[in-house]
Amino acid sequence: MLLTRYGFREWMIITLAAASIAAAGVFFSWWWLVGVAAVVWLALASFFRDPLFRKPATDDPRDLVSPADGLVSAVVEVGEHPSTVGPATIVRIYLSVLDVHVNRSPCEATVLNTIHTPGKYLDVRIEESAKVNESLVMRLLSPGGINLGVKQISGKIARRIVCPVEAGQRLRRGERYGMIKFGSTTELVVPTSELEKVCVAKGERVTGGVTVLVRMKRI
């Protein structure tokens, strides 16, 4: 288990603060304070954890893996979406503060561009938040020329979307590409016309880079 590089500043601040508090506890022989500092450090640093050795559940490149850890909160179809051409199917994932928040690419793809949309900061457990909250869409192009995307949505607490990718960048299936800091939502968006089947349902827990969300007709 590592701490993600996307949270370097935060976990360094956490470490320095915890070390200072622990040093004060040692100086005054307040061992309870040392214990408190250690527990708080573990709780806060765990948010930036980055599990190693994750492998997609199948080897079929048509199987798009989850871009995040969390709970499937909705599977919906829309008439159009900035990520696709024509109608799209969206698999929405709710991430609590206890989930791993590193985002991963659902498949091998090339980054076309990113679209940042300012917005509100509603609690992500409210369905409306997926439509009105601040968000960032990463538009992708599959090796076979299919347009799809991943949407990062901020929340009431999560107000910093991290997505340091550039147009033309190639991403591997399951590769880390960013995170949303604290509770949030991530969506996988695929063209309905190219979709063979959805492999998950509302209420299921998924693992980023591992769980297959959808199977495409081709990729």
Q: Active-site residues: which are they? A: 184
> How far from chain centre, in Å, is Cα 43?
19
CA angle 96, 4, 156 (to 5 degrees): 30
Distance CA(203)–CA(200), nearest Å, equals: 9
Region of residue 24 (phi > 0: left; psi between -120 and 50: alpha; otherwise: beta): alpha
Distance CA(137)–CA(130), nearest Å, equals: 12
Best CA proximity match to 105, nearest among 41, 49, 160, 169: 169
